[in-house]
Structure 1
Amino acid sequence: MKTTKKSLWLSAVSMMLCVVMLLGTTFAWFTDSVTNKDNVIQAGNLDVQFDYRGLTETTAENYKKVDSKALFNDVKWEPGKSFGYDFKVTNAGSLAFDWELSFQNIKSEGGTNNVNIADVLDVYVLDVNANEVTGTPAKLSALNNGVVTSGQLKAEDRNNTQEFSVVIKMKEDANNDYQGAKVTFDIYLRAKQATVEKDGFESSDYDKNATFEGVVNTAEEFTAALQKGGEITLGKDIVLTSRAVVPEGVTVSIDLGGKTISGYGIRNLGTIESLTNGTIVAESGYGLENRANIGLLNCNITSVTSDAINNGTGTWQDGEYVGSNGVIEEIAGGSYAGHADVYASSITGACGLYNGSNAVVKLISGGYFQGSSVAFRNYNKNGIERVTGGFFDCPYMDENGRTFCDSTTIDEVFYNNAPLEVTGGTWYNVGSKINSKIPEGYQLVQGDECEMTSRKAYVRYDAETQTPAHWVDDPDGTVYYYWTVEKN
């Protein structure tokens, strides 16, 4: 009996020891593993190569890389003359891209006859194997910031190319007026990601919003780009909630891309090399306020409440009005309307161009100028150096028929100082004289009658009764015309 009890006790102790040992161990399961090392995520590269060669060169070895050296230079143009290059765009990277070639910053100098030679220069895009200049051209003067040609190169096209020729030809009917005239311009090739490659969900839309370098689509992007400087292109219409500013020391070129900036306008404290190809509508303040330097201006600017262009804005200092030194090299086209749907006096009314006492516009070669009283005001006697073109309108009057335009001199379509030289342009007036400096060999040519005033008569200012000049209804009416300055 004692032996049995002892055995049972030993068995119990052994079981307890086994449980204790089991608690200190782990279970083993079937396992396996695979290791994949050295994974790398590397961005693809977008790399566009741009080369050129002469039209008479035929081998690939003749191509040279396009650099900063001007290509269309030192060419003596004459009627019928054509000149150009073969160009080659190459995908030297690993991503598909869209590309476009454009001409920008087109500036003309009229020579002795003050003409725009870009009007008689046609731009052709041809097959590299074309033996003659044929097809439908684009006028060079109409191409400012416009796309000349474009294309797409896919990733599998790496080191493959797209080739084309660009030829500029002077019209055969260009006459002697164009002797000595010249035009300058820049050539730009830009590339952006194309919606070609697919992502993991079999979609190629992930880069559909890619834009060309310098393209902005929001007001925030636009104002930030002005702070940075460089080439800026507007990709979409934007609304500014405050005035956009080009800071002092910053240089920009602004292509409005055919789009519209509304709400507020632009203030320039730096350098705007060009502002072209679109519309600015300022619902408050100036459309364009220039306190520094602008090269080429060719766009549409309207101010609902003030001047379209205010060049050389001034401030009151110790009771004296002091203007800034705004300089505009050339206004080549566009439309500039200041508060143009409401009549006001010459002093209180807005205008297409306000030129301050220290401001200078070196050349007006085109553009449509109008205001609620006068087309432009010029407070610097040397402020507008030359007018070779443009349309200067002053059509508005109040409900009593009052207007600021004088009955005899076209000079009253503007206020204060006349341009130093006028060899072109169309001027709105009842009279047939101009007090501005028209060089010998130029004359006024009567144009279209203005229907708005054809059934009214003009009454001059009466100093004795202090009655201002005004219009009155008259079935016969005063004949009111547009007059154009032309060569004899």
Structure 2
Amino acid sequence: MKRSIKTKKALMLSLFSIILSIIMLAGSTFAWFTDTATSGKNKIVAGNLDVELYHSNGKAERAKITDTTELFDVDIWEPGVVAYENFEVLNAGELALKYKFTMAIGDFNTVAETTKSLKDVLKVSIIEDGSFNGSREDIASLPFDKTLADFEKEGILNIKNDSDKFAIVIYWQPTDTDDDYNLNNGKTSSDSLPLYIDLGINLVATQNAFEADSFGSDYDDTTEYKEVSTAQDFLNNIYYANSEQGVRLTSDIAVPWSIPQSTKGLSVIDLNGHTLSTSVATTTLIEQNNSMVIKNGNLVLQSSNISGATLSVESGGSLTLENVEFTTEQGAGIYPRGDAAKVNIVNSTIDTKGLAISTNAGSTENYNVQINVINSTISSKQTGAASAILVNIPCKLNIESSNINGYLHGVIVRGGTAVIKNSTITNKTSKDENELEHYFDSRDWGQGNAVNLGALVIGNKHSTNYQYPSDVTLINTKIVAATLDDEAITFPTVYMYGNTGEGLGATLTYDSKSTVGDIVRGNEHVTVNAIE
């Protein structure tokens, strides 16, 4: 059948394929679970994994991709033309997954009597952990060093609602050979139509070795472990470990440095019931786009001061603690400070002197952090200083089936979105902090956790800093505030104060199974929704 120009745009995404495959390991037996449905122009193959893909561009706001979604929509390709999509890959299920995202080349025509086609001239660039808005100025700074055929992106999404965001930009970068593709210069195509190419996007997801479930963390772990018993063994074996290798402790180890990491990007450390500690005050830095997984034992770290973080995650990096008891002898806990840094705390306990988990609003490059706390207990008990969890940037905080205990505050959401399910949030303030209850009545909040007392604090009270909305949803969650029995003083369970700018207020939504107690609304820029 002859193609019509109307239905065959120069670059139209007419094949979109999401392939989700899961391998369940039971002894030496592999079982595949898939369910295939074909509809419209796109084929979707879905198994026990549940992954969703969203996109946005200059014409469309964030939308879930379906079998009829058109992407990279360009009428006519010519030198200098750009098409882009901002993608979000979301783990919507309970199983940990790893994925590979590639472009698939379908049907295309060529310049008559040659092999020249659009796949020769269209180049791809990816913006990791970010988005693109079509800016011509930004085009000049992007590296277009990938062809359609060799572009690929891989990622790991260990926790439900974990996501990766990235932009794909396709560009016909002008060169001195462009005239070879000019059909208005006496040339024709192999089928007398304008040059076109059918592109598909393949999202292939398989189950990741990391798993927090009733089978334990190792039932599907295919990592090859090297056993280590000394600090030097640890360093030698983890340093060159690839993505399929890790280390397993056979005794307690104290390292005289920060925690050693692989130079290959992924560090997997099985504590094997032992204790890993640092003998010096230091911060372990998980560098940009690197990942660290620590599981099955005790982690004891220290810093030189109460506010110094002992674990820090840079842009695009990730940290997972699973079945770990993590304590600090001096200092704070985990500091995801880079753009789109991720922290996953699963079946673990964190007990710190300073802030247990905290973001930093010092730069916009610290935004878009994602924090997941699942089946865990997070405590920060330093008198007069500690809050358990503080987020003060546009980010995502997900807490499920956990206990969060702070001294001044349990959870502070000074920016971003938080969803808290089946959990308990408490603070334990003493009479020494009684004066803090009204300290900020006539003044702006300070930096970080210098805010009104409360088990849960939502919003912001500052005229210039932290100017973004705060949104918290509680599902079957209990908020418990400190009570001073000897002075008959009960602090607020929830304190809210909203920024005054349009769309920058504070919002709390809670269901009928949640217990929120005394909600203090500091100003009129606060919204409280009670739902069934």
Larger % of strand: which? 2
Asked if Structure 1 and Structure 2 have the same fold, meaning a TM-score greater than 0.5 normalized by the shorter chain, the answer is no
Larger % of helix: which? 1
TM-score, scaled to structure 2:
0.39
TM-score, scaled to structure 1:
0.42
Larger radius of gyration: 1
